[in-house]
């Protein structure tokens, strides 16, 4: 196995012009231009991915390889890549690369987590509009020769509620676009990260974990202190979920506490998402915060009686009977 030090020494002696770069899966020509500007000249471009057999044949002479999501760089490929210095994943994830095997061999693995963020966020908003306007249904009618000049069942997205479950790179962008279109934004936030403060200042309802406020108040702060800190950032309603301890919320200056329900929990996977969805259901029914905070923990708590993220989600009648 080639050591990290020997690889660096080999690169220093060889010079950039002798390093071979392989770009697969139709990577944009700008990548080639950027390599050439830095002095790299031995660059091979292929529009598709390579099979394991093809990779094994070509990888021994490659110093850097650029891939997207289809090409798999597993341990046996890395075993054959004695000169490989780096793998560039021109996409969001790195699950197509055996990261542990790469680290052992001193092969750096890079990705581009923000590369498609805006594109996906815009696609989400576009699909929201298309669904609200029943565009797919109307398209099918037109293709079958029907022209129905009616807006029945269609609506504007302005003043409608959108719930963002999952707070990665895409969710915040969706929230910003939705807010600009006049939608009511409900955000599920788990971890404070770059851009969080700006996004929270735009949302109408913030449902956050206790850990979301920790960078503001510290890990040992009381739920009340966390609530005050988040209220300073968010102009709308703020709810903090506290796991088995329930939740705390603030509506127009009034602090509300809600206990968690007592159930024999088997699996809590997906409980947070169910809580968020149930809370949004309450908003759509026109309920106030107090009613939403009673309904959501019952829904998520009952879900935990079975294994699986979606198994065990209770029906409306069961939830209502529990609340009686």
Supply the range of the domain harboring residue 44.
19-110
Residue 163 shares a structural domain with residue 94: no
Residue 171 shares a structural domain with residue 302: yes
Q: What angle, rounded to 10 degrees, do the helices at 135-143 and 117-132 form?
A: 70
Q: What is the pLDDT of residue 293?
A: 94
125: number of Cβ within 10 Å: 20
Residue 104 shares a structural domain with residue 168: no
For residue 167, pLDDT beyond 70: no
Query: Does the residue 142 lie in any domain?
Result: no
C-beta separation of 121 from 174 below 8 A: yes
Query: Does the residue 299 lie in any domain?
Result: yes
Residue 106 shares a structural domain with residue 203: no
* Plot region of 270 (φ>0 → left; ψ -120 to 50 → alpha; else → beta): left
Distance CA 17, CA 38 (A): 10
Q: What is the pLDDT of residue 198?
A: 79
Q: What is the pLDDT of residue 46?
A: 93
Residue 317 shares a structural domain with residue 207: yes
Q: What is the pLDDT of residue 173?
A: 85
As a whole number of Å, the end-to-end CA separation of the chain is 67
Residue 57 shares a structural domain with residue 198: no
Among 80, 110, 140, the domain boundary falls at 110
Query: Does the residue 13 lie in any domain?
Result: no
Number of domains into which the chain is organized: 2
Query: Does the residue 126 lie in any domain?
Result: no
Query: Does the residue 42 lie in any domain?
Result: yes
Calculate the CA 317 to chain-centre distance. 32
Distance CA 177, CA 180 (A): 5
Residue 105 shares a structural domain with residue 200: no
For residue 2, pLDDT beyond 90: no
Residues 121-147 have a mean pLDDT of 91
Query: CATH number of the domain that 267 lies in?
Result: 3.40.1190.20
Residue 308 shares a structural domain with residue 173: yes
Q: What is the pLDDT of residue 131?
A: 93
> What value does the mean pLDDT of the chain take?
88
Helix (H, G, I), strand (E, B) or coil at 151: coil
Query: Does the residue 129 lie in any domain?
Result: no
Count helices and strands (H / E) in the chain.
Answer: 14, 11
Query: Does the residue 145 lie in any domain?
Result: no
Name the more confident of 152 and 63. 63
Residue 97 shares a structural domain with residue 161: no
C-beta separation of 187 from 207 below 8 A: yes
Residue 182 shares a structural domain with residue 296: yes
Name which of 251, 231, 236, 234 is nearest 293 in CA terms.
Answer: 251
Among 110, 130, 165, the domain boundary falls at 110
Query: CATH number of the domain that 96 lies in?
Result: 3.40.50.720
Query: Does the residue 88 lie in any domain?
Result: yes
* Residues shown for the chain: 324
Percent of the chain with pLDDT strictly greater than 90? 47
Percent of the chain with pLDDT strictly greater than 70? 95
Name the more confident of 9 and 297. 297
Among 82, 110, 138, the domain boundary falls at 110
Q: Strands 247-251 and 237-241: what pairing?
A: antiparallel
Residue 99 shares a structural domain with residue 173: no
Residue 161 shares a structural domain with residue 299: yes
Q: What is the pLDDT of residue 18?
A: 83
pLDDT 10s digits, 216-250: 888 888 999 999 999 888 888 999 998 888 999 98
Residues 283-302 have a mean pLDDT of 93
Helix (H, G, I), strand (E, B) or coil at 96: coil
Using pLDDT thresholds of 50, 70 and 90, give the confidence band for residue 10: low
């Amino acid at each position: 196995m080639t050591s990290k030090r020997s690889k660096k020494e080999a690169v220093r002696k060889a010079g950039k012009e002798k390093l071979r770069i392989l770009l697969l899966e139709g990577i944009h020509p700008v990548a080639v231009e950027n390599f050439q500007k830095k002095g790299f000249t031995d660059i091979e471009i292929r529009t598709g991915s390579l099979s394991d057999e093809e990779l094994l044949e070509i990888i021994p002479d490659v110093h850097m390889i650029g891939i997207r999501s289809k090409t798999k760089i597993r341990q046996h490929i890395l075993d054959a890549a004695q000169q490989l210095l780096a793998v560039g994943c021109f996409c969001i994830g790195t699950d197509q690369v055996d990261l542990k095997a790469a680290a052992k061999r001193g092969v750096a693995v890079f990705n581009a987590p923000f590369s498609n963020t805006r594109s996906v966020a815009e696609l989400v908003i576009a699909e929201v509009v298309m669904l609200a306007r029943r565009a797919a249904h109307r398209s099918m009618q037109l293709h079958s020769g029907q022209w129905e000049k009616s807006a029945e069942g269609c609506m504007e997205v302005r003043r409608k509620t959108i719930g963002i479950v999952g707070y990665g790179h895409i969710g915040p962008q969706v929230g910003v676009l939705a807010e600009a279109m006049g939608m009511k934004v409900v955000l599920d936030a788990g971890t404070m990260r770059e851009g969080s403060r700006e996004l929270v200042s735009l949302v109408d309802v913030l449902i956050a974990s206790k850990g979301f406020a920790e960078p503001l108040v510290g890990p040992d702060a009381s739920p009340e202190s966390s609530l005050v800190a988040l209220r300073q950032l968010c102009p709308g309603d703020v709810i903090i979920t506290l796991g088995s301890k329930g939740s705390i919320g603030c509506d127009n200056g009034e602090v509300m506490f809600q206990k968690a329900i007592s159930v024999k929990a088997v699996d809590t996977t997906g409980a947070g998402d169910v809580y968020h969805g149930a809370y949004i259901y309450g908003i759509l029914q026109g309920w106030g915060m107090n009613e939403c905070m009673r309904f959501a923990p019952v829904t998520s708590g009952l879900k935990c009686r079975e294994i699986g993220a979606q198994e065990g989600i209770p029906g409306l009648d069961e939830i209502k009977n529990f609340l009686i």
